[in-house]
């Protein structure tokens, strides 16, 4: 029997060698057993330093030129980045910009210029290194770069606010690479997106109407004709205006029809009939990305990444993209096509076990590819694949019969039946886990924890009906039961030690962690909550009135919350959420808890977090609070990010077992000593000694 089990494990392992980064969806005991056997047969991964999981990737952005002759990329260089240009035909890359704070880059339509976009500025630079223009972003006029102008050789579209007394209007402006501006439209409403014809005229726009979003045709005299009225959580992105008067777009309009529930690739014909051009063949995932031909603007590639990642060719590109996918089995691929019959294509290869994507140039004529951007100086600090956990897409039936999706990370070389189990809950809740690399999840798996990521109902990525399925039950109700039932589903299948289960999360995930410790203490033995709302009703009211959403020009979140039955201005909703909140039930909290927050968070008010912790401390409850001074909703700087992982690891190791944490260095110890506002027994040795 032992030899038979070993043989089964080796066969499963061989199967996984052909799909090393991402495993197919599993909702049967047989598939789970195969996955478990394969992971147990792998060598145990060494304990890696915390810094390996901080996701400081070597490349910030990589883009193929429209003609397919150059690859531009932003390379991390300490606290800034450098812009490089690599010739596809061969030769060494050259530096175009030595130092920039840009985070994204885009090619102009003619392939002669690059736009560098950062949080505070937009700059242009030519492919031969000549500087163009630099303009500030944000500020009083709320300037934002919308997209590259598809009708001009080298221009970008900007959106700007104009204040007229107490009123505001919004301008759509074309700006070329030398700073020359042309006003395309001024509108009293916030314009989400626009489509331009070949002459550069706006022919369609999507805007917020005050109580809903809508798509309009723009008539020759500038007046509007509404063609689609969008319900809450319906989204629409305009991709291109076609010569026949049709519009190419992606989104989920008309999602009250079951067949139209998912985000998909669409065409709105010239007579305003909506056609679906591509959707997930499995009917389980929203469209994640569409890639257009840079010359014709016709769709070539559609990718879906809410469960097991899948990429398909569209139209004449089906066979070509399928051939690319076969060369990267089990990988999440993204394709950037070059224009013209002889142009190279750029392919990125991603997986849960790849912190840094791998980049390849693909020749459509030969079907061959070659790897680029793989020098050691770029990939030096990336963990080896064998050291990271595979990610398995799973689904399970909730107690009311709804199929719930999620992911499972099984540490290599570990018997999951004897390993601690961590439920990691995503933020939002209008968000979802994806199949790619996740630094926190991989960090926990490297420490020997099985990690369960539930895309509970209310998550995005699985259609609008799935997002609305909670019907407002976000307290200790249906959403939380999806998470709890997923944990119990795994335990019943021999995954995780039922006596060593924890729950962690950030933002809404932190709120769920507090709920778990408060209402399911028999299941969850310890919790880690980052930036957690402690009373969701109060938190939602503060967010839309005074927080980050309070001064955004697009105030559609209010209407989305109302549609989700989370409108905290409704007294009944507020009372329901408060009654089920961790704050109102603080007396029930008995389990050890670590809370982390930012002192200047504009998504979750720091006073909400500190009030909850003070309530627990006043009752003698076990709690630790770590606050980043001046920090936002999530830590961004290296030391606060490392502190986040160190504190989480320390907390979980103390109560669930696992390897002893790597000692904190001098900088980290000093940071903890200054910023531990409340120290439970796990952190007293690191906290500042009280003065007498």
Average pLDDT over residues 30-46: 85
- Residue 172 counted as domain residue: no
- Residue 6 counted as domain residue: yes
550: pLDDT confidence band, cut at 50, 70 and 90?
low
pLDDT digits (tens, 9 = 90+) for 304-345: 999 999 999 999 999 999 999 999 999 999 999 998 778 999
Per the model's pLDDT, the better-predicted residue between 254 and 534 turns out to be 534
Per the model's pLDDT, the better-predicted residue between 543 and 246 turns out to be 246
Average pLDDT over residues 424-449: 95
- Whether the CA torsion 15, 20, 24, 26 is positive or negative: it is positive
- Structure confidence at residue 451 (pLDDT): 98
Domain edge (last residue) among 522, 554, 580 = 580
H or E element in which residue 640 lies: helix 638-656
**Do residue 398 and residue 436 come from a single domain?**
yes
- Number of domains observed in the structure of the chain: 2
Identify whether the C-beta of residue 345 lies closer than 8 Å to the C-beta of residue 329: no
- CA 579 from chain centre, in angstroms, equals 31
Residue numbers of the domain that contains 548: 536-580
- Residue 599 counted as domain residue: yes
- Structure confidence at residue 210 (pLDDT): 85
- Residue 20's domain is classified under what CATH number? 3.40.50.1820
- Residue 492 counted as domain residue: yes
pLDDT digits (tens, 9 = 90+) for 128-172: 999 999 999 998 889 999 999 999 999 999 999 998 887 889 999
Domain edge (last residue) among 527, 553, 580 = 580
pLDDT digits (tens, 9 = 90+) for 610-631: 999 999 999 999 899 999 999 9
What pTM, to 2 d.p., does this model score? Answer: 0.92
**Do residue 548 and residue 604 come from a single domain?**
no
Per the model's pLDDT, the better-predicted residue between 521 and 258 turns out to be 521
**Do residue 415 and residue 550 come from a single domain?**
no
Per the model's pLDDT, the better-predicted residue between 32 and 118 turns out to be 118
- Whether the CA torsion 299, 301, 306, 310 is positive or negative: it is positive
Other residues' Cβ atoms within 10 Å of the Cβ of residue 585: 16
**Number of residues that make up the chain:** 692
- Structure confidence at residue 132 (pLDDT): 93
How many Cα atoms are found within 13 Å in the side-chain-facing hemisphere of 432? 26
**Do residue 395 and residue 543 come from a single domain?**
no
How many Cα atoms are found within 13 Å in the side-chain-facing hemisphere of 178? 2
- Structure confidence at residue 28 (pLDDT): 59
pLDDT digits (tens, 9 = 90+) for 177-211: 999 999 999 999 999 999 999 999 999 999 999 88
Q: Which of 631, 613, 611, 630 is nearest to 621 (CA)?
A: 613
Percent of the chain whose pLDDT exceeds 90? 78
Average pLDDT over residues 455-472: 94
Does the structure show a pLDDT above 80 at 555?
A: no
**Do residue 530 and residue 542 come from a single domain?**
no
Average pLDDT over residues 21-27: 47
Per the model's pLDDT, the better-predicted residue between 121 and 566 turns out to be 121
551: pLDDT confidence band, cut at 50, 70 and 90?
low
Average pLDDT over residues 433-451: 96
- CA 395 from chain centre, in angstroms, equals 20
Question: Can you read off the two tokens belonging to residue 499?
Answer: 């006596």
- Structure confidence at residue 444 (pLDDT): 98
The pLDDT mean for the chain works out to 91
407: pLDDT confidence band, cut at 50, 70 and 90?
very high
552: pLDDT confidence band, cut at 50, 70 and 90?
low
**Do residue 436 and residue 471 come from a single domain?**
yes
pLDDT digits (tens, 9 = 90+) for 112-138: 999 999 999 999 999 999 999 999 999
Does the structure show a pLDDT above 90 at 9?
A: no
pLDDT digits (tens, 9 = 90+) for 351-381: 999 999 999 999 999 999 999 998 877 777 7
663: pLDDT confidence band, cut at 50, 70 and 90?
very high
- Residue 572 counted as domain residue: yes
Distance CA 52, CA 357 (A): 15
690: pLDDT confidence band, cut at 50, 70 and 90?
low
Q: Does residue 377 have a cis peptide bond before it, meaning omega lies within 30 degrees of 0?
A: no
How many Cα atoms are found within 13 Å in the side-chain-facing hemisphere of 691? 0
Distance CA 460, CA 233 (A): 9
- Residue 516 counted as domain residue: yes
**Do residue 546 and residue 455 come from a single domain?**
no
**Do residue 393 and residue 505 come from a single domain?**
yes
Does the structure show a pLDDT above 80 at 548?
A: no
**Do residue 499 and residue 604 come from a single domain?**
yes
- Structure confidence at residue 4 (pLDDT): 32
**Do residue 485 and residue 428 come from a single domain?**
yes
Domain edge (last residue) among 580, 604, 636 = 580
Least confident of 55-64, 271-280, 549-558: 549-558
Least confident of 23-27, 225-229, 233-237, 303-307: 23-27
- Whether the CA torsion 406, 412, 418, 421 is positive or negative: it is negative
- Structure confidence at residue 6 (pLDDT): 36
Average pLDDT over residues 535-564: 80
**Do residue 547 and residue 651 come from a single domain?**
no
57: pLDDT confidence band, cut at 50, 70 and 90?
confident
- Residue 354 counted as domain residue: no
- Residue 131 counted as domain residue: no
**Do residue 455 and residue 559 come from a single domain?**
no
């Amino acid at each position: 029997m032992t030899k038979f089990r070993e043989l089964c494990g080796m066969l499963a392992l061989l199967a996984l060698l052909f799909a090393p980064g991402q495993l197919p969806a599993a909702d049967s005991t047989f598939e789970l057993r195969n996955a478990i056997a394969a992971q147990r047969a792998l060598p145990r991964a060494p304990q890696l330093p915390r810094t390996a999981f901080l996701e400081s990737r070597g490349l910030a952005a990589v883009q193929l030129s429209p003609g397919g002759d150059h690859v531009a990329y932003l390379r991390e260089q300490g606290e800034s980045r450098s812009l490089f240009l690599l010739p596809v035909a061969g030769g060494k890359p050259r530096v175009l910009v030595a130092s920039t704070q840009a985070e994204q880059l885009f090619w102009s339509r003619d392939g002669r210029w690059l736009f560098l976009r950062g949080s505070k500025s937009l700059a242009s630079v030519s492919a031969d290194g000549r500087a163009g223009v630099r303009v500030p972003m944000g500020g009083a006029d709320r300037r934002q770069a919308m997209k590259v102008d598809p009708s001009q050789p080298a221009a970008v579209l900007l959106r700007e606010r104009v204040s007229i007394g107490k009123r505001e209007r919004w301008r759509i402006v074309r700006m070329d690479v030398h700073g020359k501006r042309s006003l395309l439209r001024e509108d009293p409403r916030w314009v989400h997106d626009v489509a331009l014809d070949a002459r550069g005229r706006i022919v369609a726009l999507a805007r917020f109407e005050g109580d809903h979003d809508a798509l309009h045709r723009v008539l020759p005299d500038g007046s509007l004709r509404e063609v689609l009225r969008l319900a809450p959580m319906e989204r629409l992105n305009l991709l291109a205006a076609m010569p026949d008067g049709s519009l190419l777009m992606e989104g989920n309009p008309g999602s009250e029809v079951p067949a139209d529930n998912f985000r998909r690739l669409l065409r709105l014909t010239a007579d305003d009939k909506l056609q679906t051009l591509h959707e997930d063949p499995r009917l389980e995932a929203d469209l994640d990305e569409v890639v257009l031909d840079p010359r014709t603007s016709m769709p070539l590639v559609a990718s879906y990444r809410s469960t097991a990642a899948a990429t398909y060719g569209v139209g004449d590109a089906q066979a070509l993209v399928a051939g690319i996918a076969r060369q990267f089995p089990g990988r999440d691929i993204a394709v950037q096509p070059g224009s013209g019959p002889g142009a190279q294509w750029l392919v990125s290869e991603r997986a849960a076990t790849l912190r840094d994507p791998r980049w390849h140039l693909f020749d459509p004529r030969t079907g061959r590819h070659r790897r680029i951007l793989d020098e050691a100086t770029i990939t030096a600090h990336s963990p080896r694949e064998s050291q990271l956990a595979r990610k398995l897409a799973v689904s399970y039936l909730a107690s009311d019969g709804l199929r719930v999706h999620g992911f499972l990370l099984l540490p290599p070389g570990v018997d999951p039946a004897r390993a601690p189990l961590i439920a990691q809950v995503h933020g939002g809740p209008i968000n979802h886990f994806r199949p790619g690399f996740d630094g926190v999840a991989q960090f926990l798996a490297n420490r020997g924890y099985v990690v369960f990521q539930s895309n509970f109902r209310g998550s995005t990525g699985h259609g609008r009906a799935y997002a609305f399925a909670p019907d407002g039950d976000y307290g200790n109700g249906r959403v939380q039961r999806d998470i709890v039932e997923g944990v119990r589903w795994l335990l019943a299948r021999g995954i995780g030690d039922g006596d060593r289960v924890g729950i962690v999360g950030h933002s809404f995930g932190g709120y769920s962690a507090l709920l778990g410790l408060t209402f399911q203490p028999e299941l969850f033995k310890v919790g880690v909550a980052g930036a957690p709302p402690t009373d969701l009703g109060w938190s939602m009211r503060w967010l839309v009135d005074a927080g980050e959403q309070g001064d955004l020009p697009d105030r559609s979140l209010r209407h989305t919350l109302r549609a989700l039955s989370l409108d905290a201005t409704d007294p009944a909703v507020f009372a329901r959420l408060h009654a089920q909140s961790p704050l109102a039930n603080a007396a029930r909290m008995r389990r050890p808890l670590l809370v982390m927050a930012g002192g200047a968070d504009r998504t979750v008010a720091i006073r909400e977090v500190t009030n909850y912790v003070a309530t627990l401390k006043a009752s003698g409850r076990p709690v630790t609070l770590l606050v980043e001074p001046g920090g936002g909703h999530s830590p961004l700087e290296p030391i606060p990010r490392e502190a986040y992982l160190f504190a989480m690891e320390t907390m979980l190791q103390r109560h669930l077992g696992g390897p002893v944490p790597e000692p904190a260095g001098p900088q980290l110890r000093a940071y903890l000593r200054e910023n531990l506002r409340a120290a439970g027994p796990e952190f007293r040795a690191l906290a500042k000694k009280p003065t007498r």
